[in-house]
Chains A and B, each alone.
Chain A
Amino acid sequence: MKPAATQAKGAEQPGEYTVSRWSRTATGFTALAALVVVFLAAIPYTLGGPAEQPLITLLTFVAMASLWNLLAGFSGLTSFGQQAYIGLGAYALYLVAAHGVNPIAGIGPAAVIAAVISLPVSLLVLRLSGGYFAVATLVVAAVFEIVATLSPSVGGTTGVSVPGLAGYTPVLREALIYWATLVVAVASVAGVYLLVRRTFGLDARAAGSDPVAAASLGVRVGRSRRLAYLVAAGGAGAVGAVIALQTLYVEPTSVFNVQYSVYMLFMVLVGGMGTIEGPVIGALVLFGLQEALSSYGAWYLVIVGGLAVVCTLVASKGLWGLVSDRFGWSLLPVGYRVRGRIIEGGTQRKA
C-alpha cells in the first residue's frame, strides 16, 4: 500500500502512514515454517518409523484444531458435531477403496463427499446459533452414527476394514500414510489462513461477533457462515479419511466419537481462538498431555475438559494470546497494521 501524507484527526503533526499486512517477523516465520514442512516431509527418510507414529497423531491434531478454529474461532459457530464428518470421511474412504480406487487417492473424494453432504445439513443447523446450534450439531452426529450402525453394507455396528493397501510393504505404507497426514495438516492450516486473510475472514469475524450489525453493513452473514461450515466439513472429511488409513478399520463408535470434539475444543481454547498460530500450539499441548496422562484412564479427559474450562474463564485468548499480547507478535498475520512516521521539522520519527 502506498504511503499517504495525511493529517490524522486529532493528531497535532502531519505524518506518513503505511498500511501493511506483513512484517519482517512474519516473513521470517513463513520461511521457517516452510523449512519445517520440508523437514517433516523428509522424516520417513531420516528418522523413519518410530518418529512417524507420534507425528501422525500430532499432525492429525493440528488439522482438526485448525478446522475447528475456522468454525468457532473465526465464525462464531461452536460445533460439537464435527465428528459427523470425520466419520463420514472415514466411511467414504472405505467405500472409495472398496470400489478399487487406491485408498491414498481416496482422501480427496472423501473430503468432497463430506463437504457435499454438509450442504443440506447446513440448511438445517445454520438456522440456529450459539448453544442451540451446538446441540443441533450433536444431533446430526448422532444421526450419522445411527445410520452407520444400521447399514449392513458398511458393516453395521462391527464396522469394516479398509482394503487396498495390502500391495504396499509396511514401511512404504506407513510412509505414504504419514505423508498423506502431513499434506492434510498443511492444507488445513494454510487453507484456513488463506481463506481468513481474504474478505471472507473479515466477514466471518464480523458475523461471528455481531450478526445483526454485520448484516446491516452488507456482510452476507448466511453465506460466510455456510462457507465456513462447508470448508470445515470437507476438512473434517479429509481428517476422517486419514484416520481410516491410520487405523485401517472403520467402526461407528470410534469414528463418530464426540471425543474428537472435546479435543478440538481443548486445542483451540488453550492454544488461542481466532488466530492461526493458536491451534497449532494447542495441538502440541494436547499431544504432550496425551503422552503424559495416557495411563490415567478417564482422568485424562477430566483434566482436558477442566483446562478448557479454565482457559475460557481465565485466559480467553489462550496461550498464543498471552504471548502475542505481550510481545506483539503475529507470525501469520490475518489483519492489518498501521505503521506511521511522524515528521517533525525535517527529522523523521518512527511512530
Chain B
Amino acid sequence: MTWVNAVIQGLLLGGQYALIACGLSLTFGVMRIVNLAHGDLAVCGAYLGLVLSTALGVPVWITLPLLLPAAFAAGVLLQVTLFGRALRHGVLAPVLVTFGLSVMIENLLQEAATSDPRGLNGGALALASFRIGSQITVSWLFMTAFLTACAVLSGLQLLLSRTSWGRQVRATADDLDTARLVGIRVRPLFATVAGIAVATAALAGVFIGTIGTFDPYQGTNVLIFAFEAVVIGGLGSLWGTLVGGMALGVTQVVVGQVNEAYAVLAVHLLFLAVLAVRPNGLFASHQAASQQLGALG
C-alpha cells in the first residue's frame, strides 16, 4: 500500500472512531457521565447484528431497522434503571456503575457466545472497492462507514441546533439546575440522549464487526479509542471528535505500515502527547473543558 493510500484509509478510519465517540461525547456533555460500558455496548450491537442477520439470512445492513430501535430502547432502559439512579448517588457513582456494567456485559457475552472472534455478513459491500487513479484503492466499506459517520454527526448537529429538543438538551448541558427551573423535563431528556448514544454505539459496532472481527472483551479497547478521539478533538465539540478520530486513524494506519505491532502503541502515545501539551484538545468548547479538567495544581 502506498503512503497516500495509507493516509486516506486512516482518514476514513477516523470516521468510524468518530461514530463510536459521538455517543460518548453526548452522554458526557449532557449528563456528565463517562459511560465506561460504551465500547461494550458497541460490541453488543455487533453481536445483535450477528444474531439478526444469521436468523434472517441477510447482510447485516438489512437488520438495521430492527437493530437501531432496539439499541435505542436499551439505552433508555439503562438510563432509567442504572445511570439515572447512579447520578443521584454522587459524582463517583456513575463511573463505578458503568465499569461494573462493562464487566457484566463482557462476561455475559463470553458465556453466551464464547471468546471466538466473529465477523458480520456485510454482503457485497464488504468486498467492493474503487480506484482513484492508479495508486489509490478505497474500500467501499470504509467509505460508507466514513459517510455514515458524517451523516450521523450532521444529523446530531441539526437536531441540537434546530429543534426544540436540541435547545433543551443544550440548555441542560449548560446548567442542569436552571434547566429544571425553567420547566425542562430532565428525566425524559436524559433518556432520549442515552437512547441516541447507545444507538450510535450499536451502529458503530456493526461497522466494526463488518470491517474486522469482534469478541466479548473488545469493548474496553473500543472505549479507549473512542475516548482518545474525544479528548484529542476537544471536549464538547462533535466535529472535533471527527478530527480526533482522523488523527487516531491516520496514526494507526501509517505506523502500521512501518510496523504492525507498534500501531496501537503509537495511537496511545499520541493521546498522551496531546494530553501533555494541549489538554483541552484541538477544538474544546471552553466551558466543557474547564468542567472536566481538574487542573488544581
Contacts and interface: CB of A to CB of B under 8 A. Distances in A.
A–B contact, 8 Å CB criterion (strictly below): yes
Interface of A: 72, 76, 78, 80, 123-132, 134-136, 138-140, 142-143, 146-147, 149-150, 211-212, 215, 220-223, 258, 261-262, 265, 269, 297-302, 304-306, 308-309, 312-313, 316
Given A135-B223, A139-B268, A261-B99, 4 more contacts: A127-B279, A130-B34, A304-B103, A305-B103
B65 interface: no
A78 B224 CA distance: 16
A125 B279 CA distance: 10
Given A309-B97, A313-B85, A132 B272 contact: no
B104 A78 contact: no
A13 to B, nearest CB: 37
B107 A305 contact: yes
A262 B103 contact: yes
List 5 A-B pairs, minimum CB-CB distance, nearest first. Answer: A131-B34, A305-B103, A222-B297, A129-B294, A309-B100
A210 to B, nearest CB: 9
A308 B293 CA distance: 27
Interface of B: 28, 33-36, 82, 85-86, 89-104, 106-108, 110-111, 220-221, 223-224, 227-228, 231, 261-262, 264-265, 268-269, 271-272, 275-276, 279, 292-297
Contact of B95 (A78, A222, A297): A78
Contact of B96 (A140, A221, A222, A312): A312
A312 B86 contact: yes
Given A139-B272, A143-B268, A305-B101, A131 B107 contact: no
Contact of A309 (B35, B104, B106, B295): B104
Contacts of A309: 82, 96-97, 100-101, 104
A150 B34 contact: no
Contacts of A308: 96, 99-100, 103
A298 B216 CA distance: 11
24 contacts: A78-B95, A78-B99, A127-B279, A128-B293, A130-B34, A131-B94, A131-B95, A132-B34, A134-B34, A134-B36, A135-B34, A136-B275, A139-B271, A142-B221, A146-B264, A146-B268, A150-B265, A265-B100, A298-B110, A301-B106, A301-B107, A309-B97, A309-B104, A313-B86
Contacts of B294: 126-129, 211, 221
Nearest to A156: B261
Contact of B36 (A135, A140, A269, A301): A135
A302 B100 contact: no
Contacts of A305: 100-104, 107
A71 to B, nearest CB: 11
B227 A132 contact: yes
Contacts of A215: 296-297
A142 B224 contact: yes
Contact of A142 (B110, B268, B292): B268
- Interface secondary structure of A, over-half rule: helix
A259 B78 CA distance: 24
Nearest to A307: B100
Contacts of B297: 215, 220-223
Contact of A302 (B99, B111, B265): B111
Contacts of B98: 131
B292 A132 contact: yes
Nearest to B217: A258
Contacts of A138: 220, 223-224
Contacts of B99: 78, 80, 134, 261-262, 265, 308
Contacts of B111: 297-299, 302
A130 B91 contact: yes
B292 A129 contact: yes
Given A129-B293, A132-B227, A298-B107, A316 B100 contact: no
Nearest to A269: B96
Contacts of A129: 292-294
A150 B262 contact: yes
Contacts of A130: 34, 91-92, 95, 292
A302 B36 CA distance: 16
A223 B108 CA distance: 41
B93 A312 contact: yes
Nearest to A273: B92
- Report which residue of B101, B221, B269, B294 has the largest number of chain A beta carbons within 10 angstroms of its beta carbon: B294
A204 B236 CA distance: 29
B295 A127 contact: yes
- Report which residue of A132, A138, A212 has the largest number of chain B beta carbons within 10 angstroms of its beta carbon: A132
A138 B272 CA distance: 12
Nearest to A138: B224
A139 B103 contact: no
Contact of A143 (B92, B265, B295): B265
Contacts of A80: 36, 99
A301 B105 CA distance: 10
- Report which residue of A72, A124, A127, A147 has the largest number of chain B beta carbons within 10 angstroms of its beta carbon: A127
B269 A143 contact: yes
- Report which residue of A131, A299, A313 has the largest number of chain B beta carbons within 10 angstroms of its beta carbon: A131
Contacts of A300: 107
Nearest to B297: A222
- Report which residue of A149, A221, A299, A301 has the largest number of chain B beta carbons within 10 angstroms of its beta carbon: A301
Given A312-B89, A312-B97, A312-B100, A127 B293 contact: yes
Contacts of A261: 99
A312 B98 CA distance: 11
Contacts of A142: 221, 224, 264, 268
